[in-house]
A and B are shown apart, each in its own frame.
Chain A
Amino acid sequence: MGGAPPCLVAKGYVSYCFGEIGPPRSLGPARVGRVPPGRRPGGRRRVVGRDGLGAGLVGGRMTGACAGEPLIELRDAAFGWRGRPAVHGVSGGFAAGSMTAVAGPNGAGKSTLIKGIVGLMRPLAGTLRIAGGARRGLAWLPQAADLDRAFPITVLDMVAMGAWRRVGPWRRFNAAETERAWQALESVGLVGEAGRIVGSLSGGQMQRALFARLMLQDAQVLLLDEPFAAVDSHTADALMRLLCAWHAEGRTVVAVLHDLALVRRHFGQTLLLAGRQVAWGPTAEVLTPGHLAAARGAPREWL
């Protein structure tokens, strides 16, 4: 498939991303269930549905999600470093195909929660349950600061790292993978920078490159840690469109965000944290003055 990558071909997302429709319709399990089995053959990466919405999923795996069971479920979970919880009392679930913002003041434990879900640490208390098969389909976009930007590697190579789960340390990086890497670069507008060293990219370009890598991971669940920090508004818009496109394809998106206006505009679900869970549910019900005051006023009272 030449030209624009499939996720941008999917037009449906645009209306609810930037239109006047209001809060996005939830692309819940029922919607995913609508995709006829024949439209998601195992070998294909993703399939654009006939209704214009990108719909197919990798390998057609939506394990256990169709029953309405959350893909990722937390029960009174606490995560932290060296035995000290940074966030606790988190209970709830990320439904398959949902789009959730994680918001809260600095030090609220947002990044820690994401790292916990990714599997970089075990819960200090409570339980974290990830539906079978979804664990391997998790992709994580860390804060850019975690990456060694002085490392002498080209943008294309860095993006190609996204294929790690398929290619691993030894398998051949074949023509199909190369094509995917170029497509990913194209959809973030970095084709012209493919041969540059990552250290020479601007902050916004770097974030675009990281999104391209994320795209190559082709994951079912995307966890993004402050994806728009230190990025100009033009880039943020472009990246937000990508997020919406992924959501429209039926992927589960979880993003740590500070910009509440952005959250209200694009995210159906919000998890508000302040060292503990303040509220979790539909964005309009979570981002109320009362909850926000509670999040701002009492971030550390429980320590």
Chain B
Amino acid sequence: MTALDWVVAPFADFGFMRRALAGTSAAALGAAPLGVFLVLRRMSLMGDAMSHAILPGVAAGFLLAGLSLGAMLLGGLVTGLAVALLAGLVARLTPLREDASFAAFYLISLGLGVLLVSLRGSNMDLLHVLFGTVLGLDDAALLLVTGAASATLLAMAALYRVLVAECLDPGFLRASGGGGAWAHMVFLVLVVVNLVAGFQVLGTLMVVGMMMLPAAAARFWLPTVAAQIVLAAALGVAAGIAGLLVSYHWNLPASPAIILAAGAIYLASVACGPQGGLLHGLAGHGRAHFR
């Protein structure tokens, strides 16, 4: 078997692998650009908290309407936004910092979600919700994740300038006409939509990996936001392909394999990236030392 066979054959031979590839690629294209902004806003853990926060809504949708994507999407959106809103409120009204109040609410939400799922479903259902069913994507799931990715990219393109301005200098934006607040809200909604859309592919817990890992890795390679967004999306797609192949050839669960592939890309970037990577830094010290 040649290397080309090793890479191409699984996708050429099996429809479910092609579907998995389409699903992970769409999840990467939608989630990774959002991740770049989460990293820039120092809100990396917010994505993680959100992924836990949407669980009870997804579970409630699942309990009420079975495997209906619409119901699960709606439920996830409602609880995700509720947690974001409540956490923001607590942070405004009490001395508790926003990160701590986020942590509190997502843990409550997670507990509620696991309770709801195990109330009615079997353990298998719980595993599917938590870790996704990337190798068993049906048309509806594919449409959802590709639709979410398309909407995200279009919305990001429309909001790009506001998001950059809001990240760089919120005070300036407020003083010259504003628009930052609603851009931030739309951004949060996009994060929740992508997490909900991606949970069928990678599971509620793992989908954050597709959001954060490529974004954090891209930061080590390229200096500007726009370049990082493109690279993050590409790295996400690459991680999806690599993870699916590893999972296929060594018979490993697909979703963790994909996230681990993204993790490997991240670690390699931390080590070798030219924008502040470890080896780069060491080389710099060496030069300074010998001078």
Contact = CB atoms under 8 A, between A and B. Distances in A.
Interface residues of B, number: 24
A139 B224 CA distance: 27
A197 B172 CA distance: 19
B284 interface: no
B164 A164 contact: no
A140 B175 contact: yes
Contacts of A154: 224
A146 interface: yes
A165 B176 contact: yes
Interface of A, secondary structure class, is mixed
Contacts of A153: 164, 168, 224-225
A151 B173 contact: no
Nearest to B41: A148
Given A120-B175, A140-B175, A142-B171, A152 B228 contact: yes
B12 interface: no
Interface residues of A, number: 24
A147 interface: yes
A194 B186 CA distance: 31
A205 interface: no
Contacts of B167: 148, 151
Contacts of A197: 223-224
A152 B161 CA distance: 14
A217 B175 CA distance: 12
Interface in A59-74: none
Contact of A152 (B159, B173, B224): B224
B13 interface: no
Contacts of B219: 152
Contacts of B260: none
A158 B162 contact: no
Interface in B138-174: 158-159, 161-162, 164-165, 167-169, 171-174
B225 A161 contact: no
A164 B165 contact: yes
Contacts of A151: 40, 164, 167-168, 225
Nearest to A151: B168
Interface of B, secondary structure class, is helix
Contact of B159 (A120, A164, A168, A169): A169
B175 A161 contact: no
Contacts of A119: 175
B33 to A, nearest CB: 14
A152 B171 contact: no
A138 interface: yes
B286 interface: no
Contacts of B183: 169
A164 B173 contact: yes
A135 B174 CA distance: 13
Contacts of B173: 164
Most chain A CB within a 10 A radius of its CB, from B176, B177, B224: B176
Contact of B176 (A146, A170, A217): A217
A120 B174 contact: yes
Contacts of B165: 161, 164
Contact of A170 (B158, B175, B225, B228): B158
A148 B175 contact: no
Interface in A169-225: 169-170, 197, 217
A36 B224 CA distance: 46
B171 A148 contact: no
Contact of B161 (A120, A138, A146, A170): A170
Nearest to B161: A169
A217 B176 CA distance: 9
16 contacts: A118-B175, A120-B175, A138-B175, A139-B176, A142-B171, A148-B167, A151-B168, A152-B223, A152-B228, A153-B224, A164-B165, A164-B176, A165-B177, A168-B177, A169-B162, A197-B223
Interface of B: 40, 158-159, 161-162, 164-165, 167-169, 171-177, 179, 183, 219, 223-225, 228
